[in-house]
Every structure is written in C-alpha cells, then in structure tokens.
Amino acid sequence: MELTEQFIFLQAPNPAAAENGRKLSKKGSFSGLHKTGDSTLYWAECAGSGKTPYRVSIDWTDPNAPVCRCSCPSRQFPCKHALGLMFEQLADRAFDEADIPQDIADKRAKQAAKSAKKESAAAPSKPKKPNAAAQKKKLAKQLEGLDMAEKMVDDLLSTGLGALGGASAQTYDKLAKDLGSCYLTGPQTAFTRIALAVRTVQKEPAQADRAYAEALRILVALRSTIKKSRIFLQDKLEAGSFTPEDSALFEALGGVWKLEDLRAIGSFQENVRLVQLSFDISFDEAKKEYVERGWWLDLDGGNMYQTLNLRPAKALKYVKGDDSRFGLLEVPTLYIYPGEGDRRARWESVSARPLTAEEQAALPRLAQPNLAAAIKLTRGAIKNTLAPKFLAVLIPIGQLGKVEDDFVLEDPAGDRIVLRDRPEDGPDHACTRRLAILPGEIPTGSALFGLMFYDEGDRSLCLHPYSVVTPDRIIRLHY
C-alpha cells in the first residue's frame, strides 16, 4: 500500500483533523522520530499544549488498516497527532531505526490475541438458526402493519394529497411512527417523505407541481411495496422461511442487510477492481441523515455500483464520513445488495493503488455501446415502481456541445440527449454548466458518466452529467 495524502484523509474522522495533523507536521511539532527495522511501526513525540509531549505511534502491520495510538486525551480517532505522524512519513522525514518500545509491543501482542480470538469466534461451527417463534411474530406484525399502511394510503387519497397539511400532516407523522413499531421502517419513511413533499408545496407554492409529482411517485411505490410485500411475507410465513432472501422487498420494507446475510444468499463477488466515477453527499430530510454516495465502475464486468454511507445527523460525530476516492480499489469480496439497476455494494476490506495507464484507457471502453442502449436500460429500470427514477450510465461521447441554451451529448452514432441537472438533487448538485469550462479538449474515445432521468417538465429523458471519463483521466464535474 502506497501512503498518499488521500489515504491519510480517508483515515481521518473529519477533514479538519487531517488538516490539523498536516499543520502539526508542517510546523515541526514532532520530535524523536523512530521506526522499527521492518517499517511496520512508526512512533514519535508530538508537542501539545501540555508540559509533556504526546507519545504517538502508527502500527502498519495491516497496511490498509493502520492502528493509531496516542497519549493525548482527544476523543477523535485517529487524533490529529497520529494523522500528523502520517504526514511526517509522507514528507519522507528521517526516522531513526530502533527497537519496538515495550509498551507498544505489549499492546501489539494484546491486539493480536484479540484478533485471533475474534477470528476463531467468527468462524461458525454451524449456521446460526433464527428464532422461529420470534420471526413468525415479526412477520405477522409486519403483515398487520401493511394493512395499516394500506388504510393510510386509502385515507390519504380519499381526502387528497392537497388536504395533507398542518394538523393532518402531524397525524400522519404519528401514524407513520406506528409503522415503525411494526418493523416497517420503509413505509414509515415513505409517509414522512410524502408529508415533507406536501409541506414543500405549502412553503414554496412555485414548487407545487414537482412536489406533488414526488409525493405521487412515493405513493405509487408504496402501493406497489404493500401489494408485493403482502404476498412475499405471507409466502414466507406459510413456508416457515425466516432468513433474508434475495429480494429488493426486504430493503423496501426497512430491512437492513448484514454482510453475512448477503454472503449467505450468495450476493457477492470476489477480487473485484473498482474505480470511483463520482461522489456526492446529500441530506435525507425524511430520515434525518446524510447520504454519502459513491458511483463505482467495475473494471472487469463493466457493472455500475453505488456505495452509500449513511450518517444520521444525531450521530454525525460518531460515524466516520466517506470521501471521494481516486485510483483503483482492489476489493477481495464485494457484497452486492439485491435489486435491479444501480445496485448498492459494500466491502469489509479494500486496498487502493493508482490506476495503470492500461486500466485508465480501458475505462471509457466499458461504456454502454451507444446512447440508445443506455436509454433502453434506463427505461427498463425506472419503469419498476420500486426503483429510483434514475439510472447511472456511462455513455460514449461523439461530441459535447450546445443546442441553443441546452448542453447536449451526441454519441458516436449521432444520437443525442439533453444534459441538465436533476432537479430533485437540488442546487448543490448542479454541475452541468461546468461542461462549458471543462479544461482541455475531450479526446476521442471518451465517455460521459451521469444519471439518466425522466424530466416531468418537458417529458424527456435527460442526463445529469457527473464525470467525463477519458482514456487518460477522469474529470469530475462534481466531487
């Protein structure tokens, strides 16, 4: 693993901590720089505000997951001192070779013993058997909740979405919470989203059309979820099957996939090479959480994946943030969520390295054959009532230009699509206009990555561009 600035920032709990670490390194706060002969442990002293300097060390036994230790009282982990020590390494400061300090050797041994114990505990002798009675009860409760959700939908449409406001919106909020008690957090969130959309209408009447369209889209999806889930859950109840299944409904109802469950249903791939095409962060008002989304291209299969790092606003400090990644990630096991379209993926461990020239050149060749193919895929995906109304696509570029005020992509076959920002993503995701100032000319053989979506405004399929993938580099329009 090559130590890079990006790697240090990814270790940091927040960008400020990394910047503070860099400042400590820059102003020469570190002294007594040492490392072991095998370069797996680096340690030093760092001047703090107190009399005695902090003792800080980084254990690189696992190069992808360094263990940072520091005697400072900071609750941030790793602290700025440990990050600063990484910057010292990055700056190629001279570290004297020395024997490992006894206290760190002891901690290392303790850590190794702990890991070994964990590993032995993690290797299950036999698969865990779910508690059938409890699961049965849960399924029954969910079915009960679905009836309640259906009634809520009926009531809502009987009086009309326009009547949902003020006191009635609060009533729906309360009822939605009851759905949560029935293990139906998916439908619960859907109702919260509908109430939010209607509130938008009240706050900004100019946005009424878009907000009502959004509310209706959620209602349609909710109706579909209720109908399909009822059959899904009843089948499970009758069959006495209580394990998670390869179905998008599990998540639509509010289920949370664990990696072992994904492994159990065989939804994983091994030795995957991924390249991030774009990254963005948005705030989910309904769930009160930040959604950190990365778009990834599988270098071998050409599949598109998304990673979602969810950080509840209330626990923002305690959940590590994600960030843009450059270069290539080698993923030993890639866990893929059930569903269609842009499937969500996760991993336990990963190693990063720069892209080779060949790998970079191969990226645009992984684009859809042409615009027509991408459109066909998108139409197929967004027709699914449970799927989001956009699809991430990589389209070969014939040329990029403007037709009057619209930015337009023309593929090599001469087919065109209008490029515009997806209104639902908000102004902080606006990046189409940046195409006009894109640095340099776009070489032949490049592709454009973006989200294809249906724009109710002019009933057209459009593309929200996020990155230009050339044979030499990826130029991000956003993050």
For another protein, the binding residue among 112, 438, 444, 457 (CB under 8 A) is: 438
Smallest distance from another protein to CB 358, Å: 19
Burial 271-291 (b: 16+ CB within 10 A, else e): ebbbbbbbbbbeebebbebbe
Distance (Å, whole) CA 454 – CA 335: 29
- Residue 344 touching another protein (CB under 8 A): no
Give residues 385-404 in contact with another protein (rule: CB under 8 A).
Answer: 385, 399-404
Distance (Å, whole) CA 9 – CA 15: 6
- Residue 406 touching another protein (CB under 8 A): yes
For another protein, the binding residue among 281, 286, 291, 377 (CB under 8 A) is: 281
For another protein, the binding residue among 393, 435, 447, 469 (CB under 8 A) is: 435
- Residue 231 touching another protein (CB under 8 A): no
Residue with smaller CB distance to another protein, 131 or 399: 399
Long-range contacts at 227-231 (CB < 8 A, ≥ 24 apart): 228/386, 229/142, 229/146, 229/253, 230/143, 230/146
Residue with smaller CB distance to another protein, 86 or 375: 375
In three-state secondary structure terms, 325 is coil
Helical (H) or strand (E) element with 311: strand 304-312
- Residue 158 touching another protein (CB under 8 A): yes
Tokens found for residue 3: 């130590």
Closest to 352 in 3D by CA, of 449, 276, 259: 276
For another protein, the binding residue among 22, 55, 80, 81 (CB under 8 A) is: 22
- Residue 477 touching another protein (CB under 8 A): yes
For another protein, the binding residue among 361, 434, 445, 471 (CB under 8 A) is: 434
Binding segment for another protein (CB under 8 A), chosen from 103-111, 153-161, 295-303, 335-343, is 153-161
Distance (Å, whole) CA 417 – CA 246: 35
Measured from the Cβ of residue 11, the count of other Cβ atoms closer than 10 Å reads: 20
Distance (Å, whole) CA 394 – CA 298: 12
**Phi and psi, residue 188, nearest 5°:** -60, -50
Measured from the Cβ of residue 169, the count of other Cβ atoms closer than 10 Å reads: 19
Q: What x/- string results for residues 321 through 340 when contact with another protein is judged by CB under 8 A?
A: x-xxxx--------------
Q: Which residues contact 52 (CB under 8 A, 6 or more apart)?
A: none
Tokens found for residue 63: 């190069």
Residue with smaller CB distance to another protein, 68 or 208: 208
Tokens found for residue 39: 């370069």
Instruction: Enter the DSSP assignment of 63.
Output: T
- Residue 6 touching another protein (CB under 8 A): yes
- Residue 436 touching another protein (CB under 8 A): yes
How distant, in Å, are the alpha carbons of 112, 114, 124, 264 from that of 118? Answer: 10, 6, 11, 20
- Residue 159 touching another protein (CB under 8 A): yes
Smallest distance from another protein to CB 152, Å: 10
- Residue 462 touching another protein (CB under 8 A): yes
Smallest distance from another protein to CB 397, Å: 11
Closest to 329 in 3D by CA, of 308, 311, 361, 307: 307
Binding segment for another protein (CB under 8 A), chosen from 13-21, 98-106, 138-146, 282-290, is 13-21
CB 305 within 8 A of CB 296: yes
Question: Side chain identity at 477, as an amino acid letter?
Answer: L
Smallest distance from another protein to CB 42, Å: 23
- Residue 408 touching another protein (CB under 8 A): yes
Give residues 81-110 in contact with another protein (rule: CB under 8 A).
Answer: none
Tokens found for residue 129: 């058997």
Give residues 24-63 in contact with another protein (rule: CB under 8 A).
Answer: 26, 47, 49-51
- Residue 297 touching another protein (CB under 8 A): no
Give residues 198-227 in contact with another protein (rule: CB under 8 A).
Answer: 212-213, 216-217, 219-220, 223-224
First and final C-alpha spacing in the chain: 24
For another protein, the binding residue among 124, 160, 205, 266 (CB under 8 A) is: 160
Q: What x/- string results for residues 369 through 388 when contact with another protein is judged by CB under 8 A?
A: --x---x---x--xx-x---
- Residue 469 touching another protein (CB under 8 A): no
Count of residues near another protein by CB under 8 A: 79
